[in-house]
Structure 1
Amino acid sequence: MPRTPIWKSISQTLETEISARHYGPGDQLPTEAALSARFDVNRHTVRRALAEMAERGIVQSRRGSGVYVSENPATYPISKRVRFHQNIKAAGQFPQKRVLRLETRAADAKEAEALRISKGDALHVYEGLSLAEGKPIAWFQSLFPAERFAALPEILNEVSSVTEALRRCGVDDYTRAETRLTAVAATSVQAVHLQVREGAPLLRSTALNVDPDLCPVEFGITFFVSDRVVLTVTPD
C-alpha cells in the first residue's frame, strides 16, 4: 500500500486543526522552524506542505511576517444607503465599533468644501475601528458639521451607530451622494490598529452622505483591510 508523503500528512494535520478552530481566521501558524521540530522533518518538507495549503486557499503567506490562516471576508455593499451594522449582520458576523477619537475642531479647506461650511467652522471628528467578530476590518474617520449637530459627540458616547446618532439629531434618513475607492498601503499607525503589516494593501473609501434635502451630514474616509472585506457596488 502506497505510503502517504510526509508533506501531505503535515498539511492534512494542520488543515484538521484549522477546521477544529485551533487556529482561527487570521491567526498566524507556527514558524517553519517550529513545525519542522514538531514533525521532525526539514524545512523544505514543511514549506511544501504550506505551499500546497496556500494553493487551496487555506493559508496565506505574508512576506517577512509568516503564514496565516485565510480570512473569511465579510461582504460589504456600497450602495445608496451604506449601513455598517446592517452590512456586517447580513454577512452573518457580529459588528462592533471601537472609538479612538471623538473631538471638535476647526475644519480645513477640503473638509469645509465637502460639508458646505466655511473654513475654520467647527466640525465633530469621530474616529475608530470597525470590527467583525472582534477582528478589525476597517479604520474610519467621520466628520460632521458641529453647528447643525451640537449634541452629536455626547450621543456617540452612548451609541456607536452613526445612523442611530443622526436619527437622535433629527436626521431619519441619509443616502450616499458619492464614493471614491482607491488602493493604498497601510501606514505604521494603521498597521498597528488593523493588525496588519506596514505596507499591507488597504482599500480607501472617501464618501459623502447627504440628508433628503441633499445637504451634507457626514464626510468620511474609511480604510478597509483588503483580505477581510469584499466591497460590492450595488446599482441604485
Structure 2
Amino acid sequence: MRDSSGKTPIWQAIADALRSDLAEGRYVPGDRLPTEAALAERFGVNRHTVRHGISALVEEGLVRTRRGSGAFVAATPTDYAIGKRVRFHENLISAGRRPEKQVLQIENRASTAGEARALRIAPGAEVCVYHGLSLADGQPVAVVESVFPSDNLSGIASALSTYTSITEALKTVGVIDYTRASTRLTAVRATVTQALHLQVAEGDPLLKSTSVNVDDTGQPIEYGRTWFAGDRVTLTLEH
C-alpha cells in the first residue's frame, strides 16, 4: 500500500516492522508489545501513527488489544475438554501446550453454606481451600479455587503443598481416581485481583466453571471454581 507519491505510509512501515518481529520470534503469542510511547520513540513518530500501525495487525488477527493493558501478540486459544474426567495437565498436553501451575495460597477455614451443600458436609465444617494459577506455555489461562473436605481427606493441605498436580495430591490421601459429577458454566467479568493474575483488564470477559468431583463411591471430594481468560481457552464439552 502506497500513497500518491509512491511512498509507503509510515504506519504501514511500522506494521511491516512489527510483523517481521513476530515472524522472527522476537515476540511470541501472549507477549505484550512495547507501549505506544516506546514504539513511537523507536520509530521516531507520534503515538497516533503507531496506533494506526497496530490497528492493521489487529485487523489481521496477529495482535489483540485489551483496554488498559496494551497490545498483545494473539495466541491461539487452548482447547480444554470438560467431561467426566477433567485433568488440567492431560488436557493441555493433548492440546500441544506446556502445562504449569502456581500455588497462590492454601488455607484451612470453615465451609460456607454453598460449599457444605456441594461437598455434603455439615455447614461450618473445616475445608482446605487451594488457590492457584494455571498456565499454558507460560501464559496464565485460569485462576483456580478448589475446596476439599478436611475431615474426609486427612493430610490434603500437606499434599497440596507438596504436589503441583491436584490429581497427585489426591492420590496421596487415598483418592486414586475421581470423576466430574457436575459442571456449570457462566460468563462473568474479571475482578481487580483476577485481572492482575490473568494479565487482563478489570472487567474483561471470563468464563467461570463451577464443578463437583466425586470419588469412585460417589462421595464429593472437590468443589471447584475456575475462571478462564475468555480469549485464551476454548471449552469443549465431551459426552
Give the structure-2-normalised TM-score: 0.91
Which residue of 197, 202, 205 maps to 2:206? 202
Match of 1:189 in 2: 193
Match of 1:14 in 2: 18
1:8 to partner: Cα distance: 2.7
1:42 to partner: Cα distance: 4.4
Counterpart Cα distance in 2 of 1:164 and 1:34: 45
Contact preservation (8 Å) 2:66, 2:200: no
Match of 2:89 in 1: 85
Counterpart Cα distance in 1 of 2:152 and 2:9: 68
Counterpart Cα distance in 1 of 2:150 and 2:42: 59
Instruction: Trace 1:129-140 onto structure 2 (pairs within 5 A).
Output: 129-140=133-144
Percent of paired sites with the same residue = 52
Number of aligned pairs?
235
In the alignment, does 2:55 pair up with 1:51?
A: yes
Judged with a 3 Å threshold, the aligned counterparts in structure 2 of structure 1 residues 214 and 32 are, in CA distance, closer, same or farther, namely same
Corresponding residue SS for 2:162: coil
Counterpart Cα distance in 2 of 1:125 and 1:207: 14
Match of 2:181 in 1: 177
Judged with a 3 Å threshold, the aligned counterparts in structure 2 of structure 1 residues 105 and 37 are, in CA distance, closer, same or farther, namely closer
Q: In structure 2, what residue type is equivalent to 1:67?
A: A
Judged with a 3 Å threshold, the aligned counterparts in structure 2 of structure 1 residues 193 and 32 are, in CA distance, closer, same or farther, namely closer
What are the superposed Cα offsets for residues 46-69 of structure 1, whole Å, 9 maximum, x if unpaired? Answer: 333222211111001223332221
Which residue of 22, 32, 39 maps to 2:36? 32
1:3 to partner: Cα distance: 4.6
Counterpart Cα distance in 2 of 1:203 and 1:150: 32
1:194 to partner: Cα distance: 1.7
Judged with a 3 Å threshold, the aligned counterparts in structure 2 of structure 1 residues 34 and 162 are, in CA distance, closer, same or farther, namely closer
Counterpart Cα distance in 1 of 2:72 and 2:231: 12
What are the superposed Cα offsets for residues 95-129 of structure 1, whole Å, 9 maximum, x if unpaired? Answer: 11111111222112111000001101111111111
Counterpart Cα distance in 1 of 2:102 and 2:71: 27
Give the structure-1-normalised TM-score: 0.92
RMSD: 1.8
1:43 to partner: Cα distance: 4.1
Counterpart Cα distance in 1 of 2:80 and 2:220: 23
Judged with a 3 Å threshold, the aligned counterparts in structure 2 of structure 1 residues 158 and 91 are, in CA distance, closer, same or farther, namely same
Which residue of 221, 231, 238 maps to 1:227? 231
